[in-house]
Structure 1
Amino acid sequence: MSTPPEDRTSELLKGSLDVQRLAAAYLAAKTRLDHSSINDATKASANTFLDYARAALEKHRIYAGWEFLQSFEREMVDEFKGTALRLRLESAKAEASKKLKNWRACAADEAGKSGDNAQDQELRDRLREILYHVHTQSQNEYFNIEQIKKQSRVIAVFLVGSALLLFELSNFITAGVDGIDVDAFRLGMLSGVFGGMLSVAYTVMRSDPSTRIPQLKASLGLTITRPLFGPLVTFAILMLMHQGFLSFGDNTMAALVALSFLGGFSERWFLGLVERINARATEGAS
């Protein structure tokens, strides 16, 4: 005998935290609909969204599941009347003022401007419009967070592979340069990669979830290439130290590692360093 849909949903409460949250929200929405007194047509429409949400939940499609539940929420606006409707509208307006910005904030603010004598149907329409903007913003932010997670995994794999490849090519990179300590170069190169990875991690943690989706996708390629700047910086610093253009303490391996880390973490610091060296060289030649 097959398991009833609600029983399968209850079983999902034992899944991951995201699945549990969605399953709990679905069950609460199902109970709400069962006890609602809205008209049959609206109830049928709301129930359709719940069916879609349950199907998404069973396939662990969290993003789609929440989107269907939010569509259900907008359908259920019809159950609010009188004072309860006005209170719900004020709550939605307050939520919109905190979460929305740019054109969505303007649209929600305009939708919230109702007169004292507004009828319930007008208030429902205004509430539904505000909820649409709040829900869309919420879904965009959730999608962006998922994109950031995916970027982090791709970046980690790419960087590990790149670091190993550069490590193996270190002999070839330093070939023909007399007096170069290959081991020092390797250690400095890894330090530069680590500095770049730390810089990327810092950038990802500070990423704004409200960033537009196309911008977030476009940033993946740029984010991946940033840590590769570290090994290039290491080679440049090593050459500058080797030729006497740059001195840091006793120019030991520790100095190379420290400077490589700084260069990998902050491209701006390294470019400033190069500009200062160039300025000194220009003054010396004049």
Structure 2
Amino acid sequence: MENSALPQLGPDQQVTASDLVRHFGLWQDRATRAPIYIHHRVRLRLVLLSLELMDSLCAPHVGHGLAGGGLIAPVIDAIEDVVVLFGADARVSHANAAARIKLGDGAQPTRHARTLSQASGIFLEDAVARVLDSGTGETLDLIPDRFTHRRLHARIDPLPDGCVLVAHDATAHEQARLRAAELRALERAIEVSNVASRARVNPRGYLIDPDAALARMTGATIDQLATARFLTLIAVGDRARVGDMIEYVSANSAAVGTRANLLVHGATALPVALGLAPVERGGRVEEVSVLITPAA
């Protein structure tokens, strides 16, 4: 979901999936008072609710059934995927913030399903009618009018008083898959280059999953590197400066480059160029990625 579509949430209302697992008791208590929004791999994906709140959201209300939005509207507005509710008349009854951004005026209440997309609206309207008649879910792809170069993969499921469409950006998923494949190829190329290595540094300064390329460059074993702080690989005279730059990258989510001396076998100084960049998850920097190449 675009940042403009996100509700204004305080730090006590959102958490990464990893932090939720580590401190479940704390977040469970907070969920009894208000919904907790859970980020996974940077994206807002889930909401943790108390049973009482969930019952109140899902219980039938006069004029405010599930298909009408009602009390559940604030919850679906926080979902990053497109969510559109249709009433029994096959007209839009509520669209979440992501739907309003991606689908524009077609997602306004009382509009027909076909107005959600010029390119695929007729197919959508037919699918909504079939789901309402049969009570069986269907899937289809949508091309949003505002972003004709993108494709939304949608599923329509029945509700007691209508149906709901949930769609995710299939184009973004495919681009993410391609970027992940490219990154893995780059990592493999670095491993076999014999002239470069990479390091991942956690917030406490320790190396994360050191690879064979870093072991070759430093003369240490992978097991030795697995328990080492990154700065112990840097010559004493450069450690304070490199440490400050790691802190700067973490605090400002910025990428920087510098020169330093890398210790080989813990003693010989090898001049290297360092490239440092932040790795962000859940809107915060969780580690720093370092590219190490011998300096000319």
Same structural fold, with TM-score higher than 0.5 when normalized by the shorter chain: no
More helix by share: 1
Q: Highest CA radius of gyration, 1 or 2?
A: 1
User: Which structure would you say has the larger RCO, counting Cα contacts within 8 Å and 6 or more residues apart?
Assistant: 1
More strand by share: 2
Given the two structures, how large is their TM-score scaled by the length of structure 1? 0.29
